[in-house]
Amino acid sequence: MSLDLTAAAPAAPTTADDGVWLACIECGETFAPFSSIRYTCDHCDGLLEVRYADPPTFEDFAGDGVWRYAAALPFEEGVSLPEGSTPLHHVPRLESEVGVERLRVKHEGMNPTGSFKDRGMTVGVRVAKELGVGRLACASTGNTSAALAAYGARGGMATLVLLPAGKVAAGKIAQAALHDARILEVDGNFDDCLDIVQELAARGEVYLLNSLNPFRLEGQKTIGLEILEEFRADHDTYPDRIVLPVGNAGNTSALYKCFRELVQSGALDPADVPKLTGVQAEGAAPLVEAVEEGNDGIRRWPDVETVATAIRIGNPVNAPKALPGIRATGGTAVAVSDEAITDAQRALAGEGVGVEPASAASIAGLRKLRDQGVVDADEQVVCLTTGHLLKDPDAAFEAGNDPEPVPNDAEAVLEHIAE
């Protein structure tokens, strides 16, 4: 199968442009990458993947941020703010409470617009320029719209975002608004928004920058490259497991692609590939269902609900790329309750790491898998936190302490805090 972890690097087809091409993950058909716009296979509608004649090795990388990894990307530079080079935090109290040998938190909320979506957009908007398109668009649970609006603005391009009405956190809409996106609120959920924007893209009205766009996942691969390099620099080894929240499963797919390409180039031993472990909210867990039932595809969940609005998704479009990754790396997927997510958000905040609810799902999932004995005590784990606390101020107020009104008087304040 084309998504095998140990498959050899593919030979470049005649359609390749400078060693880069698109390939269908279902039927294997190849396409020139920049001569025309397509998001899925012309023949079978399967997902497309960017392929390279020369997969990268660690020696090819130089500089900082996403573009340090230009050798793994289709361009030398992009429309940049800049993005990447996010911290890999020690969280000693959480590490001992969860009970694993080593726990690190890769805080993607420290990107320019506060989520990992920036890594995809720096590449995606660069590709949009190459293709000469006029208007960029996405459906979004919030963070994609914030990133698209900012990177579109940076690139001098018009942006259109479709959001599920009433289900997007305040910080994210504020970003899209100020970065000058046209914001269309749809009376439906995220999956409905994605159906509509795909239709607009199919009619040639907009260039689609959801994670269905294979170039976005190229940028997001750099999360994996950073984790491997940083972890090895600090600990002289690679993590056993990477735990991440799953919405459309773009990141899960991107991390798996990162590992496959490093294995292809000989830079990474297949035995060193971290186990990809996806976490969803119980109210939106179609990928967990597919993993638990051993299904090849997912069943679309029509009604989804969770406090973690960034992963409130019932039809993860990248499941055909992500499921093979979870299986081939020996990983798994787990669903967690909203209470567990909020508890984990508080626990991270207690280490000084402020994240939005979806991000905390990674920690909640690790806790649950450790309790179940699926994760061993001797494991070295990296949890991905995908978005910043300020993205969702309402959730933070809900999870955190209430402000206390006090009189305008020092004595009275002293009395109050002594209570």
Ligand X SMILES: *Cc1c(COP(=O)(O)O)cnc(C)c1O
State the minimum distance, in angstroms, from the CB of residue 6 to ligand X: 24
Pick the closer one to Zn ion by CB: 48 or 160. 48
Kind of pairing between the strands at 241-245 and 275-281: parallel
**Sequence-ordered list of residues with C-beta below 8 angstroms from that of 25, at least 6 positions apart, any chain:** 2, 3, 46, 47, 48, 49, 320, 321
Omega before residue 393 within 30° of 0, cis:
no
First-last CA distance in the chain: 66
Any contact of residue 173 with Zn ion (CB under 5 A)?
no
What is the Cα–Cα distance from 96 to 385, expressed in whole angstroms?
A: 19
- DSSP β-bridge partners for residue 23: 30, 49
What is the Cα–Cα distance from 82 to 213, expressed in whole angstroms?
A: 21
* Binder of residue 46, out of Zn ion, ligand X, none (CB less than 5 to 8 A by kind): Zn ion
Any contact of residue 112 with ligand X (CB under 6 A)?
no
Pick the closer one to Zn ion by CB: 24 or 310. 24
78, 214, 224, 245: which one binds ligand X (CB under 6 A)? 245
Any contact of residue 377 with Zn ion (CB under 5 A)?
no
Across 221-353, where does the E strand assignment appear?
241-245, 275-281, 332-336
What is the Cα–Cα distance from 395 to 392, expressed in whole angstroms?
A: 6
Pick the closer one to ligand X by CB: 13 or 87. 87
Helices (H), 91-169: 92-98, 117-131, 143-155
Q: Which of residues 90-109 bind ligand X (CB under 6 A)?
A: none
Pick the closer one to ligand X by CB: 310 or 333. 310
250, 286, 324, 365: which one binds ligand X (CB under 6 A)? 250
222, 265, 306, 359: which one binds ligand X (CB under 6 A)? 359
DSSP per-residue string spanning 189-253: -HHHHHHHHHHHHHTTSSEE-STTSHHHHHHHHHHHHHHHHHHHHHHSS--SEEEEE-SSSHHHH
Pick the closer one to ligand X by CB: 211 or 306. 211
122, 251, 264, 332: which one binds ligand X (CB under 6 A)? 251
Stated as kind and residue range, the H or E segment containing 160 is strand 158-164
Any contact of residue 386 with ligand X (CB under 6 A)?
yes
Any contact of residue 387 with ligand X (CB under 6 A)?
yes
- Could you tell me how many residues of this chain bind Zn ion (CB under 5 A)? 8
* Binder of residue 250, out of ligand X, Zn ion, none (CB less than 5 to 8 A by kind): ligand X
Any contact of residue 27 with Zn ion (CB under 5 A)?
yes
Pattern 200-239, ligand X, x by CB under 6 A? -----------x----------------------------
Pick the closer one to ligand X by CB: 115 or 222. 115
Structure tokens at 222: 């750099």
Residue type, 122: T
Which one, of 374, 364, 349, 371, lies nearest residue 244 by Cα?
Answer: 364
What is the Cα–Cα distance from 314 to 95, expressed in whole angstroms?
A: 31
Any contact of residue 161 with ligand X (CB under 6 A)?
no
Any contact of residue 247 with ligand X (CB under 6 A)?
yes
State the minimum distance, in angstroms, from the CB of residue 118 to ligand X: 10
Q: Kindly list the residues in this chain that would bind ligand X in the complex (CB under 6 A).
A: 115, 117, 143, 211, 245-251, 310-311, 356, 358-359, 386-387
Q: Kindly list the residues in this chain that would bind Zn ion in the complex (CB under 5 A).
A: 24, 26-27, 29, 41, 43-44, 46
Binding-site positions read: 143, 247-251, 386
